[in-house]
Amino acid sequence: MKQLLTVFTALFVFAAISAAQVTGGTGLIGYSLDKYGKVSTSTNSYVKANREVDRMSLDVGQSADAVFDYNNDANSTVDGVQAITLAGVDSAAEVLSDNSYTNLPPKVKVRTTVMAWKNQKYIIVRYRVIADTASLGSLYMGAVIIPKPSQAYGGESIKYSGAKKTTSFFRVGEASYWGVKVLSPNALGVSMLDWDIFSPTDPNNDAATDSTRYAMLSTTGYKDSLLVAGSNGSVFTVNVGKASFAKLGDSATYYYAIGYGTTESEMNSALDSATAKYPKISTSVQKSNVQSPNGFLLEQNYPNPFNPSTRINFSIGTSSYVSVKVFDALGREVRSLVSQQLETGSYTVPLSAENLSSGMYYYTMQAGNYKETKKMMLMK
């Protein structure tokens, strides 16, 4: 299997930073996010030698000879890997990877965010694919997973469950089950390959061609429901289909869950919990059908005062990475409403008062050099 160059860091249940990776976790499972966008997991706190999801990363396919992938293209030149704080999330890390290692098409950026909660057996991974040039057209997207159950390659089974919409891997007779599930929008296909077919020229490296990767990414449906790997292991993709990228800065967002259990039932329970958590961390940013704005503007929320919810309108004059956060009267972050690349336009984002106490709050929008803060009042 591929030997990945990472830097060993001090082990904490919650995030520890190095130049190459951030580690964190839930206390029951650990994760690592590296500077190129690779997510790995292990039981308890993260230990490189004990990883069981060897790698999950997002591939982006434009054609059979143009695929953005972790092994050949990904680099981190703008926002390096770092531990971040997200409201309602106990441990989080993020990195922005691009194709500047090879500068081969498609020219995209992928912002990978990992989120974890105490005493849970799941993590949620958010991928935002951002067009780094205009006229990219329709691109196929899918998470690529290299299994390593019980810290070993080879002989594992990969199984797709239509009832659970989950792809899991395990080795018969061992108490280690890992599953991957798309939380949003929808999984459109799963492709499974023995490692010797995926990388026939070098079983010790990720030597797959773009044509092989593209064929896996463009798979729709679930014709393969079970694969038993050979001695060198396996690889599979969980695909979310196509998205169109016409302009520089166009983006698409996908949420995946990774769950663990010592039994299949326990793994499914972990993924069910992740599915229930998803609506609490996702925010629907709606673009308005109005004339494109000339600059940046954060408007007063309406209604204000509010209960049980309010809406915040804002405009951006050029494609930008936008954050909208809510703080309490003591300056503590209580909500992260927007954290993504948006194209020029006017937008509306809702805020629910769930789990918030009455009182004064502040909300701040930042986009490029623009930063604005306004007050709002919650009255229950």
Using CA atoms, how far apart are residues 58 and 81, in angstroms rounded to an integer? 16
Task: Flag whether 3 is in a domain.
Answer: no
Residue 246 in this model has a pLDDT that exceeds 90? no
The Cα-based distances of 180 to 58, 74, 117, 131, 132 in angstroms read 13, 22, 17, 26, 28
Candidate from 109-118, 130-139, 240-249 with smallest mean pLDDT: 240-249
- C-alpha distances out from residue 154 to 5, 40, 195, Å: 21, 18, 9
Does 169 lie in the same domain as 38?
A: yes
Q: Is 80 exceeded by the pLDDT of residue 337?
A: yes
Q: Using DSSP, how many helices (H) and how many strands (E) does the chain show?
A: 3, 26
187 and 202 both lie in a single domain: yes
Residues 248, 336, single domain; the answer is no
Together in a domain, 229 and 293: no
Give strand pairing partners of 349. Answer: 312
Question: What's this model's pTM, rounded to 2 decimal places?
Answer: 0.76
Kindly state the tokens that stand for 226: 């079970």
Whether residue 45 has pLDDT greater than 50: yes
Domain that holds residue 305: 286-378
Decide if pLDDT at 240 tops 90.
Answer: yes
- Mapping DSSP to helix (H, G, I), strand (E, B) and coil, where does residue 266 land? helix
Amino acid occupying residue 372 = E
Q: In what order do the strands lie in the sheet with 309-316?
A: 286-287, 345-352, 309-316, 297-298
In this predicted structure, what is the pLDDT of residue 332?
A: 86
Nearest to 160 by CA among 246, 87, 219: 219
Determine, yes or no, domain membership for 1: no
Judge if 336 and 318 occupy the same domain.
Answer: yes
In this structure, are 166 and 275 located in the same domain?
yes
The amino acid that residue 192 corresponds to is: M
- Please count the structural domains in the chain: 2
Task: Report the candidate in 257, 218, 256, 224 with the shortest Cα–Cα distance to residue 239.
Answer: 218
Per-residue pLDDT band for 10 (boundaries 50, 70, 90) equals: very low
Residue 130 has pLDDT above 90, yes or no: no
